[in-house]
Chain A
Amino acid sequence: AQSVAQPEDQVNVAEGNPLTVKCTYSVSGNPYLFWYVQYPNRGLQFLLKYITGDNLVKGSYGFEAEFNKSQTSFHLKKPSALVSDSALYFCAVRDVWYTDKLIFGTGTRLQVFP
């Protein structure tokens, strides 16, 4: 079965420190992976995606993610966190059978403290 796991409900980090939000996936074949961010009472905003090629993907607002095929992971990272990065983060993988569908993880709340 296809799935995405975000093992941490919440991640706390001090402003200026590096942050990592974890994501692992399980799909057959090549995964198409996405990260989205959701601020309170807002829709989801696309951050970045991995389709093929370089394992390190750079996205919006200074975020990047590293695709690791052997560990089936796609962790989101940022070298220096900002208080304004505090939000809910979703990892998603495209369904291999119904390619319009995104399979979302349960989300990780990132809290950046001043």
Chain B
Amino acid sequence: DTEVTQTPKHLVMGMTNKKSLKCEQHMGHRAMYWYKQKAKKPPELMFVYSYEKLSINESVPSRFSPECPNSSLLNLHLHALQPEDSALYLCASSQEQGSYNEQFFGPGTRLTVL
């Protein structure tokens, strides 16, 4: 299995809602990533997990809360988001942290905050 899956594909939420994005990979990769991508822009790194531990937080607001329950799963918990948080949220994984291995991306979750 050489893919990264993400659920849901689309999510619409109000500013007071709590929701979660899910990401899963079964490639045995030990590094997992969350990115935010606005239309026609490159992805912006949010978080990196390596061996299930948070290794990079790119000064992301606390209304975004990542979680890595095990080596195959990565969640992003959302609470009290703002309309400007509407974007495509991409999950990725790679074989090892700090290596030259490419990252494999999921299809993304299209988030709309009303």
Interface residues in chain A, defined as those with a beta carbon under 8 Å from any beta carbon in chain B = 32, 34, 36, 41-46, 49, 51, 88, 90, 94, 98-102, 104-107
**B97 adjacent to chain A (CB < 8 Å):** yes
Alpha-carbon separation in the docked complex, A36 to B45 (Å): 15
Assess the B31–A100 pair: CB atoms within 8 A: yes
> For residues 30 through 54 of chain B, which have their beta carbon under 8 Å from a beta carbon of chain A?
31, 33, 40-43, 45, 48, 50
Q: Is the interface of B mostly helix, strand, loop or mixed?
A: strand
Q: Which residue in B42, B56, B99 is a CB contact (below 8 Å) of A101?
A: B56
Stretch at the interface among B12-20, B67-75, B79-87, B101-109: B101-109
B-chain residues with CB within 8 Å of residue A101 when the two chains form the complex:
45, 48, 56
Assess the B45–A94 pair: CB atoms within 8 A: no
Assess the A46–B103 pair: CB atoms within 8 A: yes
Q: How far is the CB of A35 from chain B (nearest CB, A)?
A: 10
Q: Which residue in B41, B94, B97, B107 is a CB contact (below 8 Å) of A43?
A: B107
Assess the B56–A106 pair: CB atoms within 8 A: no
Alpha-carbon separation in the docked complex, A49 to B94 (Å): 14
Given contacts A43-B107, A44-B103, A45-B105, 17 further A-B contacts (CB under 8 A): A36-B105, A41-B88, A41-B110, A43-B6, A43-B92, A44-B90, A44-B92, A46-B104, A49-B100, A90-B43, A100-B55, A100-B56, A100-B94, A101-B45, A102-B45, A104-B43, A106-B42
Assess the B100–A100 pair: CB atoms within 8 A: no
**B4 adjacent to chain A (CB < 8 Å):** yes
